[in-house]
Amino acid sequence: MKENNKEFVKEWLVSWAADDGNVNTTQDILAWIDKVRNDTRVYIEESSLNESDFWFYDDYNGEITNRKRSFFSIKGVRKFVDNKFISEQPIIIQPEIGYLGMICKKINGVINFLMQAKIEPGNINYVQISPTIQATKSNFMRVHGGELPPYFEYFENARKYKIIYDQIQSEQSSRFLKKRNRNIIIMVNEDVVVHDNYRWMTLGQIKNLMKYDNLVNMDTRTVISGLPISGFRFQDEELKPLKFFFKKESFFISIYQTEAINELPQIYYNINNYKMFQNDRTIEIPLFELADWEMDEFGIRCNKEADFVVKYYDVNIEGREVTRWNQPLFKAIGKAVYGMIITDIDGCMKILVRVKSEIGTFDKIELAPSIQWDSTHSKEQDDNIEAIFRKEIESPDNITLDVMLSEEGGRFYQEENRYIVIFIEQSKMKNLPAEYVWVSYSTLNVLVQINNCLNIQLRNLLSTLDI
């Protein structure tokens, strides 16, 4: 690895350690978000599909779609494993790949990210901290007739800059069918015009702001998780100045003194076993073929226990490319729990992950966090790891993060879920089920540089880890 790239790793740590910023303080950021929220008029109300002049039900194809056949549609989907029916539900069909992009720049010796105060119709509190650009292909192809998103030209011409991270990653596979977005971070040296709804923030600030409920949006979290800080070979003397930044030595070791090559075979063994031996099949079907779901002009609902309903909304938001529209949104019933169990093994911090298949997964299966409970998951469904986690979170002593974070505000209505990071002694978790494996941070940081390996819940949890 070239010398300047090794120094670049240290610069990420400098930005990570600058948790109150060096351009804007965290209090400045919080005051700015409050001002944007107070100054912007947002009107969102449930409505009827019959009141929309853009969205409609196509009774021939059995889908909710729009007049331009753009953005997304909602159809039915069924999943079979070994030819056995597993589940069915409505699902979002959005095959286009959008941009989730961040511009970063070294300012006064510290790397800062250009972040946006973005309003989405489904956001709790309406305004959340978003990447520099968050645009569907329909947005930047101007299908809606609006303006190009600010800063789009930087990503359209990204080869002119230093590309830090560029991968196509999955979205929530319980709501989208094989949906992916391009997660990209670019480093610029030139002056960047900062528009009113944008501010510079350090990596440490962004992570610090993730500790606030529903403040940093899902798209920011997934992009930040991709920062390449591991996988490099350092000499002992080169590690000394890096170690200075860490409060916990085991985390430092997990990043810089482990070899991903030692853990990858076991991980891929679990993944490839599923892909090879499980006949996992998902098929699209018309909405009218869903046996347990009912549809009318006000939405789609399940006549059994479910995690969500589909509703229609009239939306009026100032400050967007298009200010008024209507659309369907998936509305969660209850809250999910996403948990990351960490431990120390021989002085190295390890993270417990599992392989998990969901109805909309792009390639059958991805690595998921230790715990991924939807709102309908019950205690009776726990395996032995989940049972231990349930018991351990009753005591807050070893919980390092417990926060409510929002999911995708452009397609989901006010969905927030509980994110937990907890330390549990390895000795309490003997006889791991086959789908679980302990891995170092460096291994996951290598895998996130490859598309469709880590699911979005795991990437979101990784983004919250702090030094």
What was the pLDDT predicted at 323?
78
Of the pLDDT bands very low, low, confident and very high (cuts 50, 70, 90), residue 2 is very low
Give pLDDT tens digits for 366-391. Answer: 999 999 999 999 999 999 999 999 99
Whole-number average pLDDT of the chain: 93
pLDDT of residue 7 exceeding 80, the answer is no
Q: Name residue 155's amino acid.
A: F
Give pLDDT tens digits for 420-450. Answer: 999 999 999 988 999 999 999 999 999 999 9
Average pLDDT over residues 409-420: 96
What is the distance between the alpha carbons of residues 134 and 128, in angstroms, rounded to a whole number? 12
What is the distance between the alpha carbons of residues 421 and 464, in angstroms, rounded to a whole number? 9
pLDDT of residue 327 exceeding 60, the answer is yes
Domains, the chain, ordered by start: 249-280+334-464 (3.90.79.40)
Of the pLDDT bands very low, low, confident and very high (cuts 50, 70, 90), residue 3 is very low
What was the pLDDT predicted at 70?
84
Q: Give the predicted TM-score (pTM) of the model.
A: 0.96
What was the pLDDT predicted at 152?
95
161, 164, 166, 171 alpha-carbon torsion, rounded to 10°: -130
Angle between helices 3-17 and 236-243 (to 10 degrees): 20
Give pLDDT tens digits for 105-115. Answer: 999 999 999 99
pLDDT of residue 146 exceeding 80, the answer is no
Give pLDDT tens digits for 178-205. Answer: 999 999 999 999 999 999 999 999 999 9
